[in-house]
A and B are shown apart, each in its own frame.
Chain A
Amino acid sequence: MESLLQHLDRFSQLLAVSSTTHVSTWDPATVRRALQWARYLRHVHRRFGRHGPIRTALERRLHNQWRQEGGFGRGPVPGLANFQALGHCDVLLSLRLLENRALGDAARYHLVQQLFPGPGVRDADEETLQESLARLARRRSAVHMLRFNGYRENPNLQEDSLMKTQAELLLERLQEVGNAEAERPARFLSSLWERLPQNNFLKVIAVALLQPPLSPRPQEELEPSIHKSPGEGSQVLVHWLLGNSEVFAAFCRALPAGLLTLVTSRHPALSPVYLGLLTDWGHRLHYDLQKGIWVGTESQDVPWEELHDRFQSLCQAPPPLKDKVLTALETCKAQDGDFEVPGLSIWTDLLLALRSGAFRKRQVLGLSAGLSSV
């Protein structure tokens, strides 16, 4: 067992090195050995896939490693993050070496001979690697062709296949991280928030929150999943969002109204905070008498249109969300003085706009200065 773990460590180091300029010192023999190591670990993967204790031990080791060595993808290229990745560690290594320009000519030549021995190969392992690489190329083309020729772009983010895939990956990783230690997921998410492009991250979170109860990702070889119940990933996300107001504010700001409504319907825990944010935003606006519209004081204030769109979308949600929203609006209107006349309370105006169904009530009305009779 110990030697197995050592092998694992050494291979991880090897993998890390394989994308650096250090490979310029490698000769054909080194390349061959590296591939042999990878092959060995693939055997390990196949052998111990169903063997609970050993698999768990290996997985834990990999998790720790991944975390420590600038894990969480802090480095430029990720290493082996879990047991599953062992299943194609040879492909990982091969691709990195192939793309590494620093590899010497003789070593590269040898690498290519090893990876692509041609037809009629005797060695079953070589054949598998060759097939895996060919299949990867084929799939790549398939995705390209289907995405660009297959369908019209759908404005719904949650149906975008790339978004969905990212969401699935996020949920899977969350489960793994959660399995390792209980408080890990929150810290993990926070670290992602700090490092990754935030806009994309928020979208992925939203899509992840809308995923149906998890079905396992298609694996090349079926493995028994040692994960706990599927809904956990979303719970973690909700919890984290609620615990990070800055993130949640960005979340609500950046995403389209319809998407937010879906998310809030699905996860009722979010609705009070969401409504709270919306009311805050509303309070920041004041009525410009001359222009006849509600405006903010600072540039980052949420404009009337966005506010209106979000409320409108929420009002189209099924109860109880819809009712909650209307109640909240009524309450705010009452607090402001319960006016019926427009221009005095933003809540009144919002309710009027929503009720009359005049969706596109715009500055046009403001042209008739003063009171506008709707």
Chain B
Amino acid sequence: MAQDSVDLSCDYQFWMQKLSVWDQASTLETQQDTCLHLAQFQEFLRKMYEALKEMDSNTVIERFPTIGQLLAKACWNPFILAYDESQKILIWCLCCLINKEPQNSGQSKLNSWIQGVLSHILSALRFDKEVALFTQGLGYAPIDYYPGLLKNVTKRVNGNISRVASLSRVCVPLITLTDVDPLVEALLICHGREPQEILQPEFFEAVNEAILLKKISLPMSAVVCLWLRHLPSLEKAMLHLFEKLISSERNCLRRIECFMKDSLLPQAACHPAIFRVVDEMFRCALLETDGALEIIATIQVFTQCFVEALEKESKQQLRFALKTYFPYTSPSLGMVLLQDPQDIPRGHWLQTLKHISELLREAVEDQTHGSRGGPFESWFLFIHFGGWAEMVAEQLLMSAAEPPTALLWLLAFYYGPRDGRQQRAQTMVQVKAVLGHLLAMSRSSSLSAQDLQTVAGQGTDTDLRAPAQQLIRHLLLNFLLWAPGGHTIAWDVITLMAHTAEITHEIIGFLDQTLYRWNRLGIESPRSEKLARELLKELRTQV
């Protein structure tokens, strides 16, 4: 407590000085400086109030003899009064100063003075006497006509946006006041004649902050304008999303989808410039985390929401060419990937996957067009489309026939983009072997966890790198979910598999994603679904 009060005293001095400099915030500099400090000052006021409310009026004056001055200066700064809840907190602080039973004239005067300040805060602007008489004569009090007046002022300013820079500054404290929304929108959308930006950065920041905290509701076009005109705001929005995803429950795609749509980023990304920035940030995150599965899942959810938004917006055809979104891709590959599996008959999925594989392989192994960005770009593109990417293993297992090379290649590529040709070929062989065994096992009447483990262990004596291990794991999990007897050994197998916390998380992620995908694509298999849910539930309690 003592430390707090020392901090408060320091802050007090700081703010007292600031307020003196700002005065009534009538110059450009004072306005800018005030805007920069609005949030912090409000925090200070809150702390002040917490301290003051514990004391009685006399103690307050003893402790902070100049408090009256501080509060008065704040009250005469219209920016502070207009900001968020500052006016409310100021009033609370003033109320703490009121003496219930004034003992002397000094205290009475203080009470009187406080009343004056409260009046100043609450009562109407001193309009011309004529106007005041008129409204009174009609029987209206300020509270009756203030909303209307504000609306007219807003309309008026809106229809006549000239001093844009100063207007944007003035709007900074007002951003969460809903009456002013049309003005904020107009400012964001208006195109000045200058090539350089005329709106103040603190305006953009304030609007962005309000959007992220859901304190303002603007049409999508305004949000897009904001992010196009002020890159830091877009970046902040992305970071905000990442933070939310980290802090919330891991591995729940449904929740991620909610957050994603809520963030407005997929909708905004219909504008290619925004898409590119967002995609770039995803790319960086992916590289930094060395391909973390959670990031991949997030990218997939983003892409799905993005495609939905794109479809809603453009109905028949894209407003922008595909190349503007995916510059490193051949248009044919892009078009195929953009197709929603839902829109294609189930029987054709295999074929589509083969086609995708061919196109990707061509892009990856094509030596002459190095400028395409190399294998990583192709892989990065592919992982966007979870509908297809996550389907490969399942499709391989479903087909009783000889596993198509194209799909084997695709699967190996998906899990090991950095592999060289030989490495990949080896992986493909291993996978083929595993598939063979699994097929055999699925025909036998009884399954054992041990057998499955052996199958998985095929080739583990040679150093099976983590990606390949992951691949095999996922194949096995798929098998467990689909094979008729899978549920009997499922838990045992998983227990054997999940010998680290990381792998457990991976399995949880896999199950969650599978259920999510099945739900989206309308794949109905009650038994598999039930099994997956049970496993998921059980595993979640363990971490």
Contact = CB atoms under 8 A, between A and B. Distances in A.
Given A112-B98, A150-B167, A73 B146 contact: no
Contacts of B145: 165, 168-169, 217
B118 interface: yes
Contacts of B134: 166, 196-197, 200-201, 204
Interface stretch (A38-46, A48-56, A84-92, A296-304): A84-92
A150 B163 contact: yes
A169 B95 contact: no
A99 B138 contact: no
Most buried by B among A99, A138, A154: A138
A77 to B, nearest CB: 7
A249 interface: no
A234 B143 CA distance: 25
Interface SS, A side:
helix
A166 B136 CA distance: 11
Interface SS, B side:
helix
B141 A161 contact: no
Given A113-B95, A143-B153, A200-B131, A134 B88 contact: yes
B189 interface: no
B133 to A, nearest CB: 6
Contact of A197 (B100, B102, B133, B154): B133
Contact of A136 (B122, B133, B157): B122
Contacts of A200: 128, 130-131, 133-134
A136 B142 contact: yes
Interface string A186-220: 00000010011101110010000000000001111
A360 to B, nearest CB: 29
Given A154-B160, A162-B131, A139 B138 contact: no
Given A142-B180, A152-B160, 18 more contacts: A72-B139, A77-B136, A78-B137, A81-B140, A88-B143, A105-B108, A106-B101, A116-B95, A118-B92, A119-B92, A134-B88, A136-B143, A140-B121, A140-B122, A150-B153, A151-B157, A159-B156, A196-B134
A205 to B, nearest CB: 11
Contacts of A71: 139
A169 B119 CA distance: 24
A161 B180 contact: no
A199 B157 CA distance: 26
A59 B151 CA distance: 26
B179 interface: yes
A218 B151 contact: yes
A181 B392 CA distance: 79
B124 A140 contact: yes
A359 interface: no
Interface string B152-165: 11111101101100
A200 B82 CA distance: 29
Contacts of B137: 72-73, 78, 192, 195-196
Interface string A115-145: 0101100000000001011101111111111
A138 B148 contact: no
Interface string B105-127: 00010011001001101111101
B176 to A, nearest CB: 9
Contact of B112 (A88, A101, A161): A101
B282 interface: no
B99 A105 contact: yes
B177 interface: yes
B130 A199 contact: yes
A239 to B, nearest CB: 19
Contacts of A73: 136-139
B135 interface: yes
B143 A142 contact: no
Contacts of A32: none
Contacts of B160: 151-152, 154
A51 to B, nearest CB: 22
Given A98-B119, A146-B157, A151-B156, A138 B138 contact: no
Interface residues of B, number: 72
Interface of A: 66, 71-73, 77-79, 81-82, 84-85, 88, 91-92, 95, 98-99, 101, 105-106, 108-109, 112-113, 116, 118-119, 130, 132-134, 136-147, 149-152, 154, 159-162, 164-166, 168-170, 173, 192, 195-197, 199-201, 204, 217-220
B81 interface: yes
B127 A151 contact: no
B343 interface: no
A218 B115 contact: no
Contacts of B292: none
Contacts of B143: 88, 91-92, 95, 132, 136
Nearest to A76: B136
8 contacts: A77-B136, A81-B140, A141-B78, A141-B173, A142-B82, A146-B170, A147-B153, A200-B130
Contacts of A143: 125, 146, 149-150, 153
Closest 3 interchain pairs by CB?
Answer: A81-B139, A141-B82, A161-B152
B53 interface: yes
Contacts of B142: 136, 140
B306 interface: no
Contact of A152 (B88, B123, B163): B163
A200 B79 CA distance: 30
Nearest to B167: A150
A308 B463 CA distance: 102
Given A73-B139, A95-B143, A150-B157, A138 B98 contact: no
Given A108-B111, A130-B88, A165 B148 contact: yes
B131 to A, nearest CB: 6
A56 B155 CA distance: 33
A143 B100 CA distance: 34
Contacts of B49: 118
Interface in B360-406: none
Contacts of B124: 140
B324 interface: no
A164 B156 CA distance: 10
B147 interface: yes
Contacts of A166: 131, 134-135
B167 A78 contact: no
Contacts of A139: 146-147, 150, 177, 179
B322 interface: no
Nearest to A95: B122
A211 to B, nearest CB: 11
B102 A105 contact: yes
B125 to A, nearest CB: 6
Contacts of B303: none
Contacts of A168: 145, 148, 152
A116 B179 contact: no
B237 to A, nearest CB: 26
B155 A137 contact: no
Given A136-B143, A139-B146, A141-B82, A105 B138 contact: no
Nearest to B148: A217
Contacts of A92: 141, 143
A219 B146 CA distance: 10
A152 B151 CA distance: 18
Given A139-B179, A146-B154, A170 B138 contact: yes
Contact of B119 (A66, A99, A119, A199): A99
Given A101-B112, A196-B134, A220 B162 contact: no
B152 A165 contact: yes
Contacts of A149: 163, 166-167, 169-170
B100 A105 contact: yes
Contact of B135 (A88, A118, A132, A169): A169
